[in-house]
Amino acid sequence: MLHTVNKSPFERNSLDACLGLAKAGSAILLIEDGVVGAIKGTTIESKLTETMQSSKIYVLGPDLAARGLSEDKLVDGIQVVDYGGFVDLAAENTAVQSWL
């Protein structure tokens, strides 16, 4: 299943809820303000690293760039995709859950 999270983990608990409920083998895509959660050195980093042992985490490149965040600031293992990659993820996974 593809999960999308669109709010910063420091504003809402949607990323935390998503990480807690996503099953192994999930794809989690951070979009809009959610991209803030992908930055290295925050309190949520260890949870992301732990999740990446069984699932994949992606971040939407254009939304990262729009916030002045560069890819070298990302937690290791998080992959950057563009809108085309977002579409591919939605197509590859059998269902999509938007955490709003």
Partner 1 sequence: MKFGILINEGPYQHQASDSAYLFAKAAIDKGHEVFRVFFYHDGVQNATCLSSPPQDDRNITALWSELAKEHNVDLVVCVAAALRRGILDENEAKRNGKDAHNLADGFRISGLGQLIEAGIQSDRLMVFGD
Q: Which is nearer to partner 1, 75 or 89 (CB)?
A: 89
Q: Which is nearer to partner 1, 50 or 82 (CB)?
A: 82
Q: Which is nearer to partner 1, 32 or 45 (CB)?
A: 32
Report, in Å, the least distance between residue 45 CB and partner 1: 24
Query: In sequence order, which residues have a C-beta less than 8 Å from that of residue 88 and are 6 or more positions away?
Result: 81
- Please name the residue ranges forming H helices in 1-100: 14-21, 45-51, 61-66, 83-92
Residue pair 31/85 in contact by the 8 Å Cβ criterion? no
Residue 8 CA to residue 35 CA, distance in Å, equals 7
Report, in Å, the least distance between residue 65 CB and partner 1: 13
- State the residues that interact with partner 1 by CB under 8 A: 6, 31-33, 62-63, 82-84, 86-88, 90-91, 95-96, 98, 100
Residue 21 CA to residue 36 CA, distance in Å, equals 20
Report, in Å, the least distance between residue 10 CB and partner 1: 16
Report, in Å, the least distance between residue 39 CB and partner 1: 18
